[in-house]
Chain A
Amino acid sequence: MDMSFSSEQLAFRDEVREWIAGAMPDEMKRKADDGAVFENTESLAWHRILHEKGWVAPDWPVEVGGPGWDSARRFIFQEELLRANTPALSPFGLTMVGPLLIQYGSEEQQQRFLPPILSGEEIWCQGYSEPNAGSDLAALQLRAEKDGDDYVLNGQKTWTTYAQYADWIFLLCRTSSEGKRQEGISFLLADVKNTPGITVKPFLTTGGTYAFSETWFKDARVPQRYRVGPENGGWSMAKALLGHERTAIGGVSESGRWLQTLKRIARETPVGRGTLLDDPAFRRRIARLEMRHRAVSMVNLRTLAAAELGRAPGAESSILKLVGTEIFQEITELCMDALGHDSLGWIDSDPVALPERERFVASQFNYLRATTIYGGSNEVQRNVIAKQILGLPSAPPARKAS
């Protein structure tokens, strides 16, 4: 076991650091320093900059546009992005459907979809959940019926993150109602913007922003060649994709950013004649969280390293989502505490009355309650750990009183 970097890796780190400093536009840098939340357009702009450099998809194989880095370099790269507080990129193409297509997509699908994912020309969203199929995803009912070369889709998806900005959606639909529910599901790719019959209605979230949508399908035609994997084989596609998002969904690097924000807030929040950072009791609260964050970061690293060796994700990866998101939320909660009264303002206030540096905290604190709900709720994660990892028996069926 070894955690140290070689001189070559250190040189790589310096190269990345220097490049980021030169590549970020001034306004983006200012916002990064302020710890502000980036707009969608800024995230896209950063996507393009990374793409030009060839660094937008560190995890992809070289043949399809990856930079060909080993895990140490990928780790260094992520750390440097975190350090500079660069905008987060939309994950749906780069870390979800992209890798799935690389693994299971047809030649035609790879050629059609991978380049615009890399370039940022096409943005994706994920259509799994429905009003009656959340934790119980296999209950999904969006119907897809064959007609000529197409599937005709009728039904609804919901909580589709950023569907209102997306060009494409990858979705699970029902192609058969026979046999086990999981065996009648297919995985399709649909053009959100140009398919007649697909409509998107954004929801206002508790964060005061429009982050997810209802997505409706009314006689919407999707070519059969945009099905990934076999018909009725969508469930295994969904599972394979889950493997790709496993490490991202714990939010470990995002919560690392929030730790930085937390310290900045503590440093800049005046208390009496000094700042909150002078308060040993508050520093202890930050330190405790940071130590927990280190632990979960190491779990993340072990998971990444195992994947590098081509191993199936080990038991440790199952706790990433569960623990990572809970630590993440605790950090946002502490940011609120740190701001004191100023945390209680809302994003629709006059910018003079509530400066930018503070106004996003309450909104994000509210919205990020979602991290323990999406991507398999934390209750569902515990069920999975208990049954699949620990092998605990199922509850007996309820007995009727005799």
Chain B
Amino acid sequence: MNFELSEEQQILVDSVQRFVQNDSTVERFRKMRETERAWEPAMWARMGEMGWLSVPFPEAHGGFGGSFMDLALILEQLGRGLVPEPIIPSVVLAGGLISRLGSEEQRDRFLLPMIEGRSSLALAYAERQSRYDLADCLTRAEASGGAYRLSGEKTWVLNGHAADHIVVVARTSGDQLEATGLSLFVLDADTPGLSITRVNGMDGQRTGRLELDGVEVDTDRLLGPADAALAPLEWAIDRAAAAACAEGQGIVQELFERTVSYLKQREQFGVPIGSFQALQHRAADMFAEVELCKSCMILAAIQADAEDPEERAAEISAAKFQLTQGGWFVQSNAIQLHGGIGITDEQDEGLFFKRLRVLQGLFGDADHHSDRFQGLDGFDAEARQL
């Protein structure tokens, strides 16, 4: 067992750290959140040049052939600067699915330009009633004479407001809650019949709400085999959950460090507030949660590459749960221990708090992951002593 970073990984971490410090501090995020897109194509292109968008893809697909851990390390550092470029929706979700399921032609058309930072992607899966159930899908795709017609609504599409191409989950057979019958389609954002409304997120990032009103696409837009999208979708969402844990880890760490330094600096009653034992204990408990988050994030990043869905699901659910519960302890106390100033928008802690809360609510919340965990064979069989 060895949990040390390799030399290459350390170099990668250092370079992302430098990037955040020099080129993408929280100040840049503050500027970005005032704009409609909320991220910059020029910065995206730079990320492409630096190779960050290629990390998890096989070399044969134009990627770097790295591990998910490499990507997680990047995201962790980017989290510390609230860097708003859409890596999770573009690289992990839509990019992941296109790389996994796409034909060579589809990869050349949709994946390669994204890897180079010339375009961005999104995945539209959630619907108003679906919550975290990936099988729950009312959007339908009817086959009609060598084409498909898509109708329905998708909500909370990360980067849906800005993506060039959107992978849409639609039902080609079965009804609303059935596990089989889901298919994936790659749509251009400007396809007739597709309308996209921008929704501003609590975290200052943007999402899209999609309405598909009989959108017609050729069969060459079908991604992977028809009716069999649930398993790859679960894989992609699991990886996105692991990615959220990585970015979230950067935020948890940042909130923790900022709070400890505030405890040393802020004086009341003639002493630093960090000298009060009640707050020392709170800080110690926060530290414990930070370390638990870190450990879970490592496990999740390792398992994100696992092919066995059971193994993957257990660790990723555990990590997402920890980020939600333990991360919450850190973020709520970070605000609490800053006192009044913690409630102002001009203090950065609130921005980290919000982004973390969004990450906690994406790709399954604590209830969802606890339910999923107790339904896994590993848990169930052991509990029943089978």
Contact = CB atoms under 8 A, between A and B. Distances in A.
A282 B368 CA distance: 11
Nearest to B361: A344
A282 B129 contact: no
Contacts of A383: 278
Interface of B: 126, 128-133, 136, 155-156, 176-177, 197-204, 207, 209, 267-270, 273, 276-279, 332, 335-336, 339-340, 342-346, 350, 353-354, 357-358, 361-362, 365-367, 371
Contacts of A374: 340
30 contacts: A134-B339, A135-B268, A135-B273, A135-B339, A136-B268, A204-B345, A206-B335, A206-B345, A206-B350, A270-B129, A271-B131, A272-B129, A272-B131, A273-B176, A340-B132, A340-B365, A341-B362, A342-B128, A344-B156, A346-B202, A349-B198, A349-B200, A350-B197, A353-B197, A353-B199, A369-B335, A373-B339, A373-B340, A374-B340, A382-B278
B201 A346 contact: yes
A383 B279 CA distance: 12
B344 A204 contact: yes
Consensus secondary structure, chain A interface: mixed
Interface residues of A, number: 50
A341 B345 contact: no
Contacts of B199: 345, 349-350, 353-354
Given A272-B177, A337-B365, A348 B200 contact: yes
Contacts of B128: 270, 342
Contacts of A370: 340, 343
Nearest to B129: A270
A79 B279 CA distance: 38
Interface of A: 129, 132, 134-136, 139, 158-159, 203-208, 212, 270-273, 281-282, 336-337, 340-346, 348-350, 352-354, 362, 366-367, 369-370, 372-374, 377-379, 382-383, 395
B336 A337 contact: no
A122 B341 CA distance: 28
Contact of A273 (B177, B273, B346, B362): B177
A139 B271 CA distance: 12
Contacts of A382: 278
B124 to A, nearest CB: 12
Given A344-B203, A345-B199, A379 B279 contact: yes
B268 A366 contact: no
Contact of B353 (A135, A159, A206): A206
Given A205-B345, A366-B354, A377-B339, A345 B365 contact: no
Contacts of A350: 197-199
A3 to B, nearest CB: 35
